[in-house]
Amino acid sequence: MIKQRAFPVEPWSVRETELNLENLAQAESVFALSNGHIGMRANLDEGEPFGLPGTYLNGLYEVRPLPYAEAGYGYPEVGHTVVNVTNGKIIRLLVEDEPFDVRYGELNRHERLLDLRAGLLHRTAEWMSPAGHGIRVSATRLVSFTQRAAAAILYEVEPLDVALPVVIQSELVTNESLPTTEHDPRAAAALAAPLVSEMHEAVGHRAILVHRTRGSELRVAAAMDHEVDGPPGTETTVESYDDLARLSVTADLEPGRPLRLLKFLSYGWSAARSLPAVRDQVGAGLASARHTGWNGLLGAQRQYLDRFWERADVEIEGDAELQQAVRFALWHVLQAGGRAEGRAIPAKGLTGPGYDGHAFWDTESFVLPVLTYTAPHAVADELRWRHSTLELARDRARVLCLKGAAFPWRTIAGLENSGYWPAGTAAFHINADIADAVERYRAATDDDAFDRDVGVELLVETARLWRSLGHHDARGRFRIDGVTGPDEYSAIADNNVYTNLMAQRNLLAAAEAAARHPRRAARFGVDEEEAASWRDAASAMLIPFDDSRGVHQQAESFTEHEVWDFEDTPPERYPLLLHFPYFELYRRQVVKQADLVLAMHLRGDAFTAEQKARNFAYYEALTVRDSSLSACTQSVIAAEVGLLELAYDYFAEAALMDLDDLEHNTRDGVHIASLAGAWIAAVAGLGGMRDHDGELSFRPRLPGAIRRLCFRLSFRGRRLQIEVVHGRATYSLLEGVALEIVHHDQRRLVEPGRPLELQIPPPPNRERPHQPRGREPARRRVLQ
């Protein structure tokens, strides 16, 4: 953990009060702007210095080779990686022919502020040039939630002391030089200058560049237009080339009279549309943004976010740092999925190139639960994207000699992109994770059209996968052998509890969906016999349990493996996967991330309270949290079993993952699932919210330092508010008709205009469990 706070604690913003060149890349991720379609890292306006340049369009990728030392049947042959597209953020400034560059001259002030309510990134800099002349630069960026293809930048410069000649160069730049971390030269070659020019044009204050990717042959266009407000004599020129378009603005400025440049941007891409069509698409986006204008874009952005925060805000009293972190987390979750519309939600969102821009099971298991209750339209969009890739998943299942659909472990466009099959192909639980997201969305929204048109087919094809992957053994038990669960330190295991329990839910959900929509199911060949076979498999599902230890086995025989030697593993040898061969990890009791503990969260209905407590204590001693996905789940179950201070510790770890750069890799993009986990730790952990079979239940309790927790949920056309203080919870229906809930096993009705106040029973008295040496969560110390 870093020694000092990188950002001051403020309830609705993240502020950087000085520029640290060593942490540029981290700040570029933290301050990145996105709407789910366009992503812009927070590179400095002038382009240099940078940590890692990046502008991304969701779903746009380049083909790259997947190298193998030894090939095998069924291995994916190519991978996809996110492309850094045309950079429209660049606005260079020259003062008396001196480039504004923070590495030269004297930077007297530099501040950036991310406004979470307005959805804007502000920057202010005061700089003394090497020639001794001072200027003030102010810039505000916006990536629009309401106009999906649009972004805009307001840039102002003024002298501080004497009149100065200045030149502003507003640019579109393609094929930027990037720092490389790619060790395979073939892959590096594929990603070097991946965009080939197809056209460029510049007229007036407007310019457009159209390119296509070399390998994937996707067409991408970027366009810019400007409004210039300067003193008399201000001149502009525009030019374009294959990989560059530039508007130059020249003016003589006096103190107190700034030069103002308003830059509108529009982006689009397509795998099918022609060059004129894509060109005109971004032209239309540009025209729409200009018609709305800067003030119109600001107002629409604020209205969009006001509506979001009314549905989604989490209020925390007693820990201001955690309050800031949770809102920052929700902001990035919204940015990742708010307007993804027909595309995946990548593990890094559109904030950086980490994981090659791939989406994993993280999306369905961590991100979509948050959006289901705060922005459900985004969940429907992401699941429609999964549905659009169904034929590719069917093809993958056939290659693997299976029926139904085998969804990819990591992907951008629906193809499997994992070159390591024990952690990729064998992690079939992705199918059940998708099915779980489908069922959660249906139960929370009553979206019958989605259920019929999208949900049924996804549930049917994922259920068919389980029925063909598993089998009934001689004792009649349904087994799913040779799979990898969420814990990537235990691969190719038999009867992973998480996988089996989630597959069980998947099988039953498919049978119920077929019964709800028999005609639709019949179109996919489902008959009564097949649906009965799903129910039979679900009822006979094998769930391993170690009677001698009184705990569930993460997978069959797991508790019989040798325990990892934690005492002789020094801190510098974590994460283990970077210092030990997988073979050593696979045959030991050591857990990378919550696995069985995650099963107790998502399938809590399958465990007794005592089993949860015993399981949690046992697996705490084995879990090293070499994954950012773990802390939030451990927080949830710690809270459920009554370990509220431990839950608080894990909650803070999930929420501060990127603001404090806990994994030392925020430079590559923020951790969207861990940030989603901050909401999960608050709402499902301290708030005790569960949604099993469409019934909302709550078991709220607070740790000592937190005086009040308040959160809101959207559920079946209602808006529900839950306010928790020590010893008492109040349920209020803000919108919609009466709703039945369960509070600490009491079934109660919440009615409009009649807040329901209920007492909270004390937690059970349990001993805090031990974690592996050196892997304990940091004890939460509230900043005063």
Active site residues: 488
* Count of all residues that appear for the chain in the document: 784
**Structure tokens, 772:** 């592996």
Beta strands in 4-65 (DSSP E): 13-16, 33-34, 38-40, 55-57, 61-65
Instruction: Of 625, 668, 633, give the one whose Cα is nearest residue 778.
Output: 625
Distance (Å, rounded) from C-alpha 355 to C-alpha 375?
25
Contact predicate 654/330, CB 8 Å: no
In this structure, the strands spanning 695-698 and 259-270 are: unpaired
Instruction: Of 555, 614, 617, give the one whose Cα is nearest residue 589.
Output: 555
In this structure, the strands spanning 756-759 and 728-735 are: antiparallel
Burial tier of 610 (Cβ tally within 10 Å: 0-12, 13-18, 19+) = exposed
**Structure tokens, 591:** 């857990």
All residues at 6 or more sequence positions from 85 whose CB lies less than 8 Å from its CB, including other chains: 55, 56, 57, 60, 174, 195, 220, 222, 267, 269
Q: Could you give the count of Cα atoms lying within 13 Å of 291 in the half-sphere of its Cβ?
A: 7
Show the CA angle centred on residue 265, arms to residues 667 and 30, nearest 5°: 20
Distance (Å, rounded) from C-alpha 584 to C-alpha 590?
10
137: three-class secondary structure by DSSP: strand
Instruction: Of 260, 251, 254, 255, give the one whose Cα is nearest residue 233.
Output: 251
Question: What are the DSSP calls for 560-612, one per residue?
Answer: GSEEP--TT--GGG-SGGGTS-HHHHHTEE-BSS-SHHHHHHHTGGGS-HHHH
Encoded amino acid at 396, one letter: R
Distance (Å, rounded) from C-alpha 151 to C-alpha 117?
17
Cβ atoms within 10 Å of 396's Cβ, excluding its own:
22
Q: Could you give the count of Cα atoms lying within 13 Å of 562 in the half-sphere of its Cβ?
A: 7
Region of residue 684 (left: phi > 0; alpha: psi -120 to 50; beta: else): alpha
- Residue 381 is given by DSSP the state H
- Residue 736 is given by DSSP the state S
Distance (Å, rounded) from C-alpha 101 to C-alpha 127?
9
Beta strands in 66-205 (DSSP E): 78-82, 91-95, 98-99, 106-115, 120-128, 134-143, 150-159, 164-173, 195-203
Distance (Å, rounded) from C-alpha 456 to C-alpha 169?
53
Cβ-count burial 719-749 (b if 16+ within 10 Å, e if not): ebbbbbbeeebebbbeeeeebebebeeeeee
